[in-house]
Structure formats: structure tokens, C-alpha cells
Structure 1
Amino acid sequence: MKIKFFYVAFALLIFGLNFAQTNKQVLFTIEDQPYYTDEFIRVYNKNLDLVKDESQKDLDHYFELFIGYKLKINKANKLGLQHNTQYQNELKSYRGQLAKNYLTDSKVTKELLEEGYARSLKEVNASHILLSLEESAKPEDTLRVYKQILELRKRALNGEDFGNLAMQFSQDPSAKENKGNLGYFSAFRMVYPFETAAFTTPKGEISLPVRTRFGYHLVKVNDIRDNRGEVTVAHIMLMNPADDNPDEMEKNKTTINEIYAKIQQGEEFEALAKQFSQDKSSASKGGLLNRFGSGQLSSEEFENTAFGLQKPNEISKPFQTQFGWHIMKLIEKHPIKTFDEAKGEMENKISRDERSRKITESLNEKLRAKYKVKRNDALYAKIKKLVDDRFYESNWDLPTNMKDFNGELLSFEDKKVYGSLFLNYLNAQQKNPVQPRPIGKLVDFHYQNFVDSELNLYYNANLENEFPEFAAVMEEYRDGLLLFDLMEKEIWEKSKTDTLGIKAFHEANKLNYMWKNRYDVIIVSTTKADVAKKAHKLLAKNKSMEEIKATLNTKDIINVMATAGTFEEGNDALPKTIPLKKGLSEIKQEGNYFYIVKVNEIKEAGPKTLEECKGRVVNDYQQYLEENWVSNLKSEFKVKTNQEVFTAVKKQIKQ
């Protein structure tokens, strides 16, 4: 996989470069297929700082490498590797990932990121009144609810208590208990239109009616403060009894105070949480909770206590929430992330919430302006007549004779879209929960979405024609994948399985695989002179490494370190000041350490066996095969180079 990454990763590097418009010329041909100067210059400049081998920076040498690279791609295509299913799927997957950068409106995305981050620096305390309304409500129902919410706003502005109005009229079930107060929250915690109303309404004022997928809201901003970040805490909890029994409530209060006293006496918080906490989800973890920010929990008292703790390991006094008694321990405070730190997470959130509609709508508008759509109004009217109210119950059926609708419904650029395709699209949309009324409006709604879908598909399919840099990335990635598959087939598999070839290659190149002098040794080191003397005596008595350590080390103190093995001359494990000759050395000090070396055997320099250097031999054999293979490819394919053009390219690059 690492090798595969090497062959395809360069495709990622080219993305984002400026592609200057240059007059490209044919640099060379392979089987009359032209390869141009612009690609060679671009790839050379891109890879210039990546190569470590200075010879590859030489233009003449790099030119030969580039021709060899293109020869391999021609060979891959000749073998039909481009038709391999796995190759096609991998290429398709990569294109889909790369296309995401183009199938969006970067300006709108940037604005949403900046807006989201600016909002995330604050927390808003807001109350709301909700009048429920389905997204697909009839116009008359929408108008009725809108008038009702306007009337409630008027009453609030005239002095009636907003909380009382919420209790009386809001269709949010929680309003009966919280008077519509949602507590503090920051960006990405509410649906986007509601969030926008909360963050754009001044403190103490009431927003105009705002429409979300839940209905119409009035939003009153009670307070605005700086975001407190996030916090990680652990807690011990005794839950309120289900029947609110006063005796049980008092018993819990007594118990939580006893637990707190144990903590004050030095008992471990985590152990007490495991023993006494009734929060089953956290008790086994010593009371540890997932990190949270304002508005993420359903207890403002719990959140305020958590953010009120200042230092890690600080423990709160017992406190009560609507759920029971708690003792809290601060684990860590997490400050607000910087824009760069938060960017990836915000992009993910934007893609999942209603903000993404703004990006999609912006791109759709650009595509509508870019591609002029012509519609067959007569055929469209014919289709509209087919659709009736059965559509709302998902009982509408396609016409029996679809041939009557096979005519061209719309066209743009070189694309023609037929009426039957739109009818099939309509049929599938019956499951869509959003269905505007009346029926004429519904068909127009789905038609516009259908057109947008077709424009996006066309735009996506033509990214290579629209963006030279996208085409270049895909071309290089395509070649990289093919090259990997080809090398695996023609070189790597062969080099691993060709035992006779590997053996012959090793025999012919023995001088490249040589051992230096090797020493079979026991090396003992210690920081204590007296221990070194004891170790020397033990080695003189032919004691083993294990016996020496067992004699001189204790359970609590390591007096000596010992190593045994065969080491090649120059190995860092061998002490520098001790002459390596057979037998036991004197004690030598190097820095703070005393060393003794016992040389059991000296193996003189000589050639390595194939088994001793097989990994390196196989790698060298691969390179040998590839070099000879490229020469063979030059014989298999007709290559013509334009030396005059190459000379001009060299001058251009060196300027």
C-alpha cells in the first residue's frame, strides 16, 4: 500500500496550482500519440523539490525518465489494465472525492464558515414561541399561522409577558415547564433559521416571525455572553426518588453529604463514584462524563457548577438539580478553538445542516446562468396535466404509454433531456415529505429541482473540460493507478517469485552484499565501578548474561544492563574504546558508564548468503528488471523525440 501511495500521491500535489496558459508543443510521440511540453514542464517543476537524487534534477536524465513513464502507461493500456474493475472503481472513487471541491460554491462556504465561527464565540440565552406548521402546508394554512404568530408578537410588544404567552400558546411541549426559555446555546446547536434569528436579534428584543421546518417561531433574546468553551467533569449522583418521597429525598441529602465528607478525608473520588453513584452510564468510569458546552445538557444548574470550577481536580460541594444530588470533579477545561482548529469540524456541520442549502442554491444559480436551458413548453404542459391529487397520497401512477412522452423536454449545451426521464423522476418524488400545494405548484417545484439535478450532473461530467487543473490531476492519478497495477504485474510479482533469477542476480553481484567483521559478544554496562568489578569476575567465570543480571540486579534496583548477540563492525551497540579481540576485555569507562565486553567469536568479513540479504537483493533485482524492461519497451513501441523543442524547453526551465 505504501508503494501504491507513492505512485498515486503525486496527483494530490498538483491540485491548486496556477496553470498558466502556454503555447504547448509536441515534445515526443509514442506510436504517434503526442505528449506536450506543458505537461513535461509542469510535472518537472512540481517534482523538483521532492526528488532527493540530484541526477533526477538533470533535465536530460529527467526527460528519459518521463519517456519511460509514458512508455509504461502505453504498455498498461495495451494490456487492457484500464478495464480492470478494481481500477475503475478506485478511479471513480477518487474522482468523486476530488470533484467535491468543484461542486460547491467556495465563496458561500467561506462566508458560512466565518459566520459560524463568529457566532460560536458567543452564547445566546433565548426564549421562543412555536406555532407548528408542516413544510408542505397549503398557502391558506401558512397565512393563517403567520397571522397568529404576528398577533402574539404584537401582544408581547404591547407589554404582555413573553413567558406567559409561551406557556399559553407555544406548541413546543417544553414551554409548559420552561416558559419557552431554551437556556444558553451557541452556533450549530439550533436549526439554522432559528439560530440566525437568535444571533441577529438585539438583546431584550423579539424577532419577526421566523420559519423553520417545525413551523413559525418568535425568538426573544434574553442575554448574550462570551462562549465559555467546553468542560470535562466527573460526578457522583444520587437520583431523586420516582415518587418524590420526602423521607427518601432527605436520605439522599444525608448520603451525599457523607460521601462529600469521605472525599474531604482523602478517599478517592473515582472509587466513591463506582460505589455510590446512581448514574449507571458513568459510574463504572469513575463518574466521567463526555465533554460538553453550554446548552448541551438539560440542567443549567449542572452546567453552571461545571463552568464555575476553576482548577483540574477541584471538587464541588454537594448541589441539587431537577434530577437529584451531585458532587462534581473538574477534569479539564477546553477553551474555544481557533478558526483553523475548528474549520474541519464546522465544514462537517455545515454539510449536515440547513446551511448546506445556501451552498447548493448558490451553485444552482450559477449553473442556471452558465447553461441556458430551453424547454419544450407544449410537452411540459402535457406532463403537468397528468399529475393530480393522488400524488399527495403516493397513489399517482405513470402513464401506460410512455412513448407519448419520449420527446425532448429540455436542452442545454449539447445535452438533451427527454420527457420520460422527468416523469420517472416525478414518480420517485412521491416519497418526498415536502410537497407544495396546489398541484400546479408541485410540478413546477419538482421540475426546477429536476433541472438543477441535470445541470449538476452535466457540470460534474464535464469538470475535465471546465478546469485544466482538474483534468491534470485526474490524468496523473489515472496514470499513477495504472502504473502501480502494471509494475505489480510485470516487475514486483516476478521479482518475488523468480527464485532462479534472484539467485543468479545475487551470484553475479556478490561484492555488493558483503559483511564487515562480526563479533559474537556479551556486553555489560553499569554506572557503578564496584558493580563493574563484580560483573567482570562473573564473566571471567563464564557466567551467562541472565546469570549476571540475576546476581547483580534486585527487584527494585537495576545495577547492570547486559546485551548478547552478533554485531557488525561499527554497530552503535559496540563500545568505542574497547579493542575487539577474542576473550574478556578490561573494564573501560565511557562517560558515566563502565563497560566490559566478552568476545566469544570473531567472524571475518565476507560475502553474505542470499538468505542473509534477500530483502535488499530482491529490491535491487526489481530495479534491474525495470531498467531492462524500459529498454525493451523502447523496442516494443515507436518513440520519436523532438530535440529542437526539448532544447527550447531546457532554456525556458533554466531561466
Structure 2
Amino acid sequence: MRKLVLVFVLCFSSIVFSQKKDKVLVTINGEKTMISDFKRVYEKNLDAIDSEEAKDVEKNLELYINYKLKVKEAYDIKLDTLASYVKEMDGYKNQLSAPYMQDTTFINKLVEDAYYRTKYEVKAKHILVRTPKIPTSKDTLLAYQKIMKIRDRIVAGEDFEKVAEETSEDDSARDDAKSGRKANKGNLGYFSAFKMVYPFEDAAYTTKVGEVSMPFKTRFGYHILQVDSTRISKGELEVAHILLNDKSAKGEELINSIYDKLENDEQFRALARKYSDDTGSKSKGGKLRKFGTGMMVKSFEDAAFSLQKEGEYSKPFKTRFGWQIVELIKKYPVESFEKMKGDLKKKVKSSSRAALSEKAVIDKLKKKYTISEDKKAKEIFDYKNVRTIAKDSLQAILLTINGKEIKQELFIDYIQNRKNMPVFQLFEDFKDKEILAFYKENLEKTEPEFAYILKEYKDGLLLFELMQQKIWNKSSKDTLGLKNYYTTNSSKYDKEYDKIKGEVMNDYQTYLEKNWISDLRNKNAIEVNKKQLKKLINSYNKK
């Protein structure tokens, strides 16, 4: 019974489409329902109705009026103030508003970019000038000026790798005598989408081959990069390997003997379980997780991607981890956009680039809203211990968004546990948050579709609670009333009460609801515009 009521709620929730010649169809206690309102509800479900009787316009209008009366009753007895209802609505409102916090067009563009950057790999080298974890505006300026001077040297003709080895604050650019690591001179090899932090990826894919980018910022500091080449992605591989940590001649001798065993048709998996020093993979016969370019050391990657056929294995080779042999299990080439679109969208939405979509929404709102900042109120930013200022001294208006005034106190609350950024930058984040919050608070006024769907859910939730109180709980707890109903209507039942209690309860619920509806109709003023109803019926008969 409850399920049927919820279905009915969904069927008779409305989305009003204004029409130039719209007329009033029903008036309940002075509240008007337009023809377009009812038509939208009625037509929404015609395809799901399988009988002419169920399509009857007058009968559907009566059901719709009943629904409106029940919802009105729920509001009259203030069910919308119940704590459980308020909590449920807050959760649903957050869920419903989430898509409005994202720019769909922008998200789609990010997904298309991600596919291109999955299909094509880019090879680049970079130079990094670090900034402190909590940079001041001076720190940021100095780092920018430093990286610009470095860029000027390269643009003037100096070799990028030489300058990288000399100036980059990425330690991998120089030799490390302690670990024996050789300098990469800024070279990062080939990479594709989601392999680097987004600003780095974006700079690499938007810089032409051979050119040096302008400085760009990541959480590490300022970078410049030079793109060496692009190529079609090699996709991903699934491989198994055998690793011997012993890099000496003895290790080489053993890896060669293992290779000879493979040549004599011994199973790769069995040999991996027996000999491999990789504790994470040996129990699985040396099997590793699927990977693409840029995820393994270069010598391992080169050996793996050189294999062409499933089951083919490499000759022994040496990496910084030791002696290895790798076997190809399966190749995973890049699939079509249509096949990858769903997964890419999930990746985009769960990655840092999703914030760019939210930022796109905020940027649009900034152009639309009237936003002002009070310079005098912002002077607190200069206080060394700004977070310790007494609240009674923080009552000045700091920010105004379309007339909504936001005091200094709210900003100080915001930054209390955010100490990883300078105050001036935190203010920009705070302002963006408040702009988005204002938009969210006013969605019902600015987004009709949101308002209608939210109203639909509100009314449905209220009706569920009302039906529970008026019908379902009463029919299950009123044992005497249920038995009296059975006794009064015993002529239509051919079995004892205990054997058909469920059937009797359903009938009793119908009986209670019928009487309740009758009471509601008696205490409310309902007026149906007969002329417009007749026109409406005729319009459907012609179809």
C-alpha cells in the first residue's frame, strides 16, 4: 500500500509550464490550479496507463484533487516541522543541488580533453622553482620572477637540460651520489591524462612541440616546461615479472639460468613463485597491476612495451631494483570515446579538475551578482594574530553579495583551522564559497526545474508521513476496529479472519482512506471549472 501511494505521489507531482492562454481548472480554498499544471501531470503518465478507464480525465482530476487535499492537510498539521522531515529534506536538497554546482558544458569539455590526452601521450621536461607550503604574496612574486629569468635564458638560446640541471629545485634534475641516481635533467618521459597534477598536464598539452611554456603554478611551486614530442598512446599492459634483487654477477647468473628454464618450456608463473624477490607479486605468479607509460622505470617499461604477443617474455635486463624478466599477459589499447566516456567522466568528477567546473560556475555568478568588499573591514588581514581577535570586534560587514551582508566574524571562523595558506588567499576562497552558498540558498527562486522537483519531493515525503499516521498505523494498531470491519463485511469474505487478515487489512485501509477523503472534501472549498474541463476532455477525445 505504501509503495502504491509513493508511485501516486510521483505521478501527480507537477511541473508548471506557463502558457499564454492558460486557464484555471480547479480552485481549492482560493488556491488556483491551472490547466497546464494538470495537463503536465496527466500527460506525463499516459504511456504507463494500459486501460481507457484509467485514462479518464475526470477520474484523474478527482485523484489529483484528493492528492492536493492530503498535502494541504500535512502542512496544516505542521508535519513539515518534524525534525526527521527537516533532516531528510536538507539531505535531499544537497543531493538535488549538486549538479547545479557544476558547469555541465565545462565538465563535458574536460572529459573530451581527458580522452584526447589519454589517446595521445606527450613527452616533456621541466624546471621547478619551489614556493613555501604557506607562501606570502612576496614569496610568490619572488618565485615567479626567478622562473621568468630562467625562462629568458632558455628562450635566448641556452640548452634547457643544462639550465634545468643548474637551476631546477626538483632534486631529480641532478645526480645524487648518495643513492647513485642519475640526473634526469628535467626530463619526465612520456605521460598522459591523470598522470600529473592537472595544471602541469594542462600546460604540457597546450604548449606546442619545441616551445617553452610561460610559468604556471602547482602546489609545488612555479614551473616552466618544454614539449619534446607527442605520440599515439601505447595504451596499458598487464604483465608478470620475475625480480632478483641481487645485482651482482651471481644475480646475473641466476636470472640467466631462469631464462634458460623458460626457453625449455618451464612455466613463467611457477618460476616466479619459486625465484622472484618481489614479495608483493610472487604469490600471484609475478602478476602486476595494469599500467601505462610513465608508471614504471624506463628500462622496465621499454622491455614490457616491446613485447608483441601474449605469453611472450623478455630477455633478462637490469633496473635499479635488480635483474628482471617480464612476460606479457594482455594489451589494453585505448578504446573509443563512446566506450571510455563514462569512466572518464567519473575520473574527472573525482579528480582535482572537478573544482575547475565549480570555479566556472562561480565565475559566471561573479559576473551576474553585485558583490562588494569593504576595504576598512579587510584591514584585519594585516593583523599577525588575526585568528585570536575577539568576536565582538568582528562585527563589521566584510562582504556583500546581492544585498546579503557577511561579517568579519564568519570569515575568521572559516580560517580557524585553515593555516596552510596566507589570509589574503583564504579570503578569495571564502568569497567563492559564500557566492556558491548564496546561489544554493536561492536555487528555488532562480531555477524553476529545481524548485518543482524539490516541491515534488517535499510533498511526497509529507504525504508518506501523513498516510502513516492516518491510515497505515491506525489499520495495524487498531485491532478492534479491524475485527469490527471484518464482522460488518463478513458476507464478502469466504474464509476465517485469521486466514485472510492481510486482505482484510488492505480493505480496511481503503475504507479508512475513503472516509478520510470524504471528510477532507467536506471541510475544504473545491471549485472545478466545468467549462474548461469539458474543453480539456474534448481536446483529448479528438486525439
Q: TM-score, normalised by structure 1?
A: 0.70
Instruction: Deviation per CA, 1:531-563: give whole Å up to 9, x if none.
Output: xxxxxxxxxxxxxxxxxxxxxxxxxxxxxxxxx
Residue matched to 1:290: 289
Match of residue 211 from structure 2: 205
TM-superposed CA distance for 1:195, in Å, is 1.2
Shift of 1:102: 1.9
Q: How is 1:380-399 mapped onto 2 (pairs within 5 angstroms)?
A: 380-381=375-376, 383-391=377-385, 396-399=387-390
Alpha-carbon deviation of 1:63? 0.9
Q: Distance in 1 between matches of 2:517 and 2:459?
A: 16
Which residue of the partner structure matches residue 240 of structure 1? 245
Q: Is the 8 A contact 2:241 2:288 kept in 1?
A: no
Tell me: higher relative CO, structure 1 or 2? Use CA pairs within 8 A at least 6 residues apart. 2
Which of these two proteins has the greater Rg computed from alpha carbons?
Answer: 1
**What SS is found at the alignment partner of 1:278?**
coil
Q: Are 2:9 and 1:3 equivalent residues in the alignment?
A: no
Counting only pairs closer than 5 Å after superposition, residues 472-551 of structure 1 correspond to structure 2 as 472-495=452-475, 501=482, 504=486, 508-510=491-493
TM superposition shift of 1:145: 3.5
Shift of the 222–482 alpha-carbon distance from structure 1 to 2, 3 Å rule, reads same
Q: Which amino acid aligns with 1:197?
A: A
Alignment partner of 1:222 is 2:213: no
* AA aligned opposite 2:252: E
Q: Deviations over 1:456-480 (max 9, x none)?
A: 2222111111122111111111112
How far the C-alpha of 1:310 sits from its partner, in A, is: 4.5
Query: Secondary structure of 2:389's partner?
Result: coil
Q: 1:213 to 1:64 in 2, by over 3 A?
A: same
- Unaligned stretches of 5+ in structure 2? 175-181
State the Cα deviation string for residues 1-51 of structure 1 (Å, max 9, x = none): 99399549949998xx99454555443344444433332122222222233
Instruction: Within 5 Å, give how 1:619-638 maps onto structure 2.
Output: 622-623=509-510, 626-627=513-514, 629-635=516-522, 637-638=524-525
Are the aligned partners of 1:129 and 1:169 in contact in 2 as well (CA < 8 Å)? yes
1:301-338 superposed Cα distances (whole Å, 9 cap, x missing partner): 33344444445555555544332344444444334344
Q: Which residue does 2:179 correspond to in 1?
A: none
Partner of 1:95: 93
Q: 2 CA distance for matches of 1:288 and 1:369? A: 54
Match in the other structure for 1:48: 46
> Which of 254, 259, 262 matches 1:260?
262
2:474 equivalent to 1:469? no
Percent identity between the aligned chains?
A: 37
1:321: which partner in 2? 319
Report the AA paired with residue 464 of structure 1.
E
Question: Is the CA contact (8 Å cut-off) linking 1:197 and 1:210 kept in structure 2?
Answer: yes
Secondary structure in 2 aligned to 1:284? helix
Aligned residue identity for 2:486: A
CA displacement 1:569-606 (0-9 Å, x = unmatched): xxxxxxxxxxxxxxxxxxxxxxxxxxxxxxxxxxxxxx
Distance across 2 between alignment mates of 1:486 and 1:332? 59
Measure how far apart 1:110 and its partner are: 3.0
Structure 1 residues 454 and 152 mapped into 2: Cα distance closer, same or farther (>3 Å)?
A: closer
Post-superposition shift, 1:124?
0.9
Within 2, Cα distance between the matches of 1:9 and 1:324? 67
Post-superposition Cα deviations, 1:359-396, rounded to whole Å, max 9, x if no partner, equal 33432333233222355x5xx41x334443514xxx65
Deviates more, 1:190-199 or 1:355-364: 355-364
CA distance in structure 2 between the aligned counterparts of 1:623 and 1:281, rounded to whole angstroms: 64
Q: Take 1:636 and 1:13, find their aligned partners in 2: how far apart are those partners?
A: 23
Q: 2:189 aligns with which of 160, 183, 187?
A: 183
1:422 paired to 2:408: yes
Secondary structure at the aligned position of 1:487 is classed as: helix
Equivalent residue number for residue 145 of structure 1: 143
Cα distance, 1:632 vs structure 2 = 4.5
Q: Distance in 2 between matches of 1:11 and 1:452?
A: 39
Q: Secondary structure at the match of 1:60?
A: helix
The alignment status of 1:641 with 2:528, answered yes or no, reads yes
Query: How has the CA–CA distance of structure 1 residues 33 and 157 changed in structure 2, closer, same or farther, with 3 Å as cutoff?
Result: closer
Partner of 2:177: none
Superposition RMSD in Å = 3.8
Q: Structure 1 CA distance, aligned partners of 2:502 and 2:331?
A: 51
* CA separation of 1:161 and 1:310: change in aligned 2, threshold 3 A: same
Verify the 8 A CA contact 1:7 1:480 in the aligned structure 2. Answer: no
Amino acid of the residue matched to residue 43 of structure 1?
A: V
Secondary structure of 1:49's aligned partner: helix
Does the 8 A contact of 1:29 with 1:641 survive in 2? Answer: yes
Residue 182 of structure 1: how far off its partner (Å) = 1.6
> Given the superposition, is the C-alpha separation of residues 251 and 148 from structure 1 closer, same or farther in structure 2, using an over 3 Å criterion?
same
Cross-structure match for 2:103: 105
Distance 2:359 2:217 in 1: 18
Question: Cα deviations across residues 61-89 of structure 1 (Å, max 9, x unaligned)?
Answer: 21122112222223333443322323222
| Cα distance, 1:150–1:374 mapped onto 2, change above 3 Å | closer
Indicate conservation of the 8 Å contact 2:244/2:275, yes or no: no
> Are residues 435 and 621 of structure 1, via their aligned partners in 2, closer, same or farther at CA, if it must alter by over 3 Å?
same
> What is the rounded CA distance, in whole Å, between the counterparts of 2:511 and 2:282 in structure 1?
63
Residue 161 of structure 1: how far off its partner (Å): 4.2
Cα distance in structure 2, aligned partners of 1:620 and 1:184: 71
Question: Do the aligned residues in 1 keep the contact of 2:471 with 2:513 (CA within 8 Å)?
Answer: yes
User: Which amino acid counterpart does residue 286 of structure 2 have in structure 1?
Assistant: G
Aligned length: 530
5+ long unaligned stretches in structure 1: 437-441, 512-606
* 1:162 pairs with 2:149: no
Tell me if the contact between 1:130 and 1:216 (Cα under 8 Å) persists in the aligned partners. Answer: yes
The 2-side partners of 1:237 and 1:144 are apart by: 49
Name the CA shift for 1:107/1:488 in 2 (closer, same or farther; >3 Å): same
Shift in Å, 1:169: 2.4
- Distance in 1, matches of 2:109 and 2:28, equals 48
User: Structure 1: which amino acid aligns with 2:414?
Assistant: A
Between stretches 32-41 and 490-499, larger displacement belongs to 490-499
User: Residues 132 and 171 of structure 1 are in contact (CA less than 8 Å); yes or no, is this contact kept in structure 2?
Assistant: yes
Instruction: Note closer, same or farther for the CA distance 1:616–1:198 as it changes in structure 2 (3 Å cut).
Output: farther
- Residue aligned with 2:281, SS: helix
- Measured after TM superposition, the shift of residue 142 of structure 1 is 4.0
Q: Distance in 2 between matches of 1:287 and 1:619?
A: 63
CA distance in 1: counterparts of 2:472 and 2:38, whole angstroms: 27
